[in-house]
Every structure is written in C-alpha cells, then in structure tokens.
C-alpha cells in the first residue's frame, strides 16, 4: 500500500476509535531524575550518557522543586553492564516520593524479577525500550543480550506493574530494523499504550554524523501501529530530531492518527486545528 493511502487508513482508524481528540503534552510538571548522576556503564552508540546531563540528580530533587511546580517524576539513570538501570539503590527515596502522592514513571531496563517486585508498588508505570533485533542490541548497546532477554524483561515488568513499551525508530544508525518485529510481538501482549521515539544523531556519540531515519519510514511504522492497535493510545514521545525534521514529522503523525505528541511543533498545532481536532494539553510525561 502507498504511504499516502496507509495514512488515510490510519487516520480513519483513529477517528473511528477516538474521534477528533488529540493530546499535546508539555511535561513541565514531570521532573526527569537520574539515579546514577552522569554515570552510565554502557555508553551506547546513540546516547553515550549525554541525556543524563539534562536530568536532575536524585540527591538534588528538593532544591530543584523549590523552583518548579512538580507533580510527577521520570526516574531513570545510566545502565549497569547487564542493561539494568540500578534505581533499586534508591528504593527508599522512591517510596518517599510515592507516599507523598507523586506519580512515578520509571526506566528499569533489564531489571531482575526480585527487584521489580520490590519496586513495583511504588511506581505508576515502567517505560521500557523494547528492542527485538539482535544486531541492534549488539551495535547500539554493546551488551551480551539477545531479543529473548528483552522479551523476558518486558513480560516480568508486565506481570508486576503497568508497562509502556517505547520503540526507538531508526535506533541502529538510522536504519529500520526491529521496529515491525516489535509491533508483531506486542500484538500478542495487548499493551494499553505504545510510545514511539526517533533516533537523534547526538553530538559526542558514535551516531553523531549519521542521518536520522527517513520521515516516510518513521510514518510507515506509526501507521502500521495505528492500524494494528486501533484502540490504544499511540504517542510520539519527546526524543525526536528538532528543526525541519520535527515540523514535517509531527504534521504527518497527526495525519496518521497519532493520539499524543510531546512538545509538538507549531506546524503540528496548526495541522491539528486545520483538521478540526479537539486539542487537550497535558503537563506530564506522555505515559502518565
Ligand atoms: S517519551 Fe513520553 S514517557 Fe518517555 S520520557 Fe518522553 S514524555 Fe516521558
């Protein structure tokens, strides 16, 4: 099917199930927190610890909250060598936040089941990067794990907490590799939401000079998801290239039946108004 036809079909699926509603998220009330400072043992090809630098250290939350109206947290951190995000070391801090009534979205990575059980009562949702291509795991994360390890971790998380799969489109040097396989697999798992993000070629990483995936290829994956999962929220998350790329991508994502765009471009807002969407604005992470 030609992409334009697929987009028309996908938009119709969305409108049949969600009408004209669309959410634009501006997560000003979600504070992104790192539990490992700037440290990450993996130094992945697409990140190299770069994004930890923009997060608040878990030990400095109180200070940060004096200046921001926060009602929720994204708790993350660098990975250990086995792909686990060791936020369990801060279980008491997380319990504290939960007991004070904050909403918590956590990156747990490939956490083992005992630790997942310990933490699951204190988080609202786990965001999980679902990676089902062995070559990508090797090229990007450089760890001795296979797609079965990701499947196992996803299913452990699902057993104990709400989990929203994140699919990074073009994660392996901008190429489309395991994205469709991930959708096939998720079809067997009935997720209540899927978040897409898109590789950003980031300065200081192995991928700084590569091109992000073609916008048409990203849209094809989003349309596929929309058609395969007619009743669940499909989000376009915060990590995606900026500038012209974002303007074009956001516009096309709206015309492909996306439910939620984080930090939409002005063009996205105009397009949503043009097709008479009912726009709602949220101030948290797109999975909360
Ligand atoms: S993609 Fe959504 S859930 Fe993940 S960090 Fe961004 S806003 Fe939060």
* Interval 4-63: pLDDT, tens: 999 999 999 999 999 999 999 999 999 999 999 988 888 888 888 888 899 999 999 999
d(CA 227, CA 256): 10
Per residue in 145-159, pLDDT tens?
999 999 999 999 999
User: How many angstroms does the Cα of residue 285 sit away from the middle of ligand 1?
Assistant: 5
Q: Would you say 23 and 260 are in contact if contact means Cβ atoms under 8 Å apart?
A: yes
Most informative mutation of 130, 238, 240, 260 for ligand 1 (most atoms within 8 A of CB): 238
CA 30 / ligand 1 centre spacing (Å): 10
- Per the DSSP assignment, residues forming a β-bridge with 127 are 107, 164
Tens digit of each residue's pLDDT (9 = 90 or more) over 121-180? 999 999 999 999 999 999 999 999 999 999 999 999 999 999 999 999 999 999 999 999
Q: What is the rounded distance in angstroms from the CA atom of residue 274 to the CA atom of residue 268?
A: 10
Return the ligand 1 atom nearest residue 235 CA: 2
d(CA 148, CA 166): 17
User: Which residue from 128, 239, 261, 285 has its CB within 8 A of the most atoms of ligand 1, so it is best to mutate?
Assistant: 285
- For ligand 1, atom 6, the nearest C-alpha belongs to 238
Cβ < 6 A, ligand 1 pocket: 27, 74, 105, 127, 195, 197, 237-238, 262, 285-287
For residue range 226-264, what is the model confidence (pLDDT) as tens digits? 999 999 999 999 999 999 999 999 999 999 999 999 999
* Mean pLDDT value of segment 196-222: 96
Distance 210 CA to ligand 1 centre (A): 23
- What is the rounded distance in angstroms from the CA atom of residue 232 to the CA atom of residue 53? 33
Contact (CB, 8 A) for 212 and 199: yes
Report the pLDDT value the prediction gives residue 43, as an integer from 0 to 100: 84
Distance separating alpha carbons of residues 280 and 288, to the nearest angstrom: 15
CA of 1 to the centre of ligand 1 (A): 31
- Give the position, in ligand 1's atom list, of the atom nearest the Cα of 286: 2
Which residues are CB-neighbours of 26 under 8 A, at least 6 positions away?
262, 263, 281, 282, 283
CA of 118 to the centre of ligand 1 (A): 23
Please state, for a pLDDT cut of 90, what percent of the chain lies above it.
91
- Cα(212) to ligand 1 centroid in Å equals 19
Q: Which atom of ligand 1 is nearest to the CA of 262?
A: 7
Cβ burial, residue 12 (10 Å; 0-12/13-18/19+)? middle
pTM above 0.85, yes or no: yes
78: left (phi over 0), alpha (psi -120 to 50) or beta: beta
206 or 265, which is more confident: 265
> Which residues, 6 or more positions from 3, have their beta carbon under 8 angstroms from its beta carbon?
216, 219, 220, 223
Å from CA of 249 to ligand 1 middle: 17
Cα Rg of the chain, angstroms: 18
For 254-281, the pLDDT digits (tens) are 999 999 999 999 999 999 999 999 999 9
Atom of ligand 1 nearest to the CA of 288: 3
Q: How far apart are CA 69 and CA 240, in angstroms?
A: 25
pLDDT band at 68 (very low <50, low <70, confident <90, very high): very high
| 3-class SS string, 186-234 | HHCCCCCEEEEEECCCCCCCCCCCCCCCCHHHHHHHHHHHHHHCCCCEE
Q: Is the distance from CB of 167 to CB of 193 less than 8 angstroms?
A: no
Phi–psi pair at 189, nearest 5 degrees: -115, -5
Residue 79 has pLDDT above 90, yes or no: no
pLDDT at 80 over 90: no
């Amino acid at each position: 099917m030609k992409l334009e036809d697929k987009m028309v079909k996908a938009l119709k699926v969305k409108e049949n199930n969600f009408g004209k509603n669309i959410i634009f998220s501006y997560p000003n009330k979600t504070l992104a927190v790192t539990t490992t400072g700037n440290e990450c043992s993996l130094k992945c090809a697409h990140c190299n610890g770069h994004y930890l630098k923009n997060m608040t250290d878990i030990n400095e939350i109180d200070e940060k909250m004096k200046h921001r109206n926060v009602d929720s947290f994204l708790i993350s951190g660098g990975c250990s060598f086995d792909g686990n995000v060791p936020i369990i070391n801060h279980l008491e801090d997380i319990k504290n936040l939960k007991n004070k009534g904050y909403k918590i979205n956590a990156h747990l990575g490939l956490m083992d089941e005992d630790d997942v059980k310990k933490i699951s009562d204190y988080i609202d949702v786990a965001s999980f990067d679902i990676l089902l291509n062995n070559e990508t795991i090797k090229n990007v994360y450089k760890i001795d794990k296979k797609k079965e390890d990701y499947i196992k971790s996803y299913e452990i998380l699902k057993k104990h907490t709400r989990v929203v799969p994140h699919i990074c489109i073009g994660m392996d040097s901008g190429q489309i590799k395991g994205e469709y396989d991930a959708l096939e697999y998720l079809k067997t798992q009935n997720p209540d939401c899927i978040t897409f993000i898109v590789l950003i070629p980031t300065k200081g990483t192995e991928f700084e000079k590569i091109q992000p995936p073609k916008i048409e290829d990203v849209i094809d994956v989003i349309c596929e998801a929309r058609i395969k999962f007619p009743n669940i929220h499909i989000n376009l998350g915060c990590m995606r290239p900026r500038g012209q790329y974002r303007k074009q991508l956001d516009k096309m994502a709206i015309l492909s039946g996306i439910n939620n765009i984080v930090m939409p471009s002005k063009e996205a807002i105009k397009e949503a108004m043009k097709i008479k969407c009912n726009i709602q604005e949220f101030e948290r992470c797109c999975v909360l």
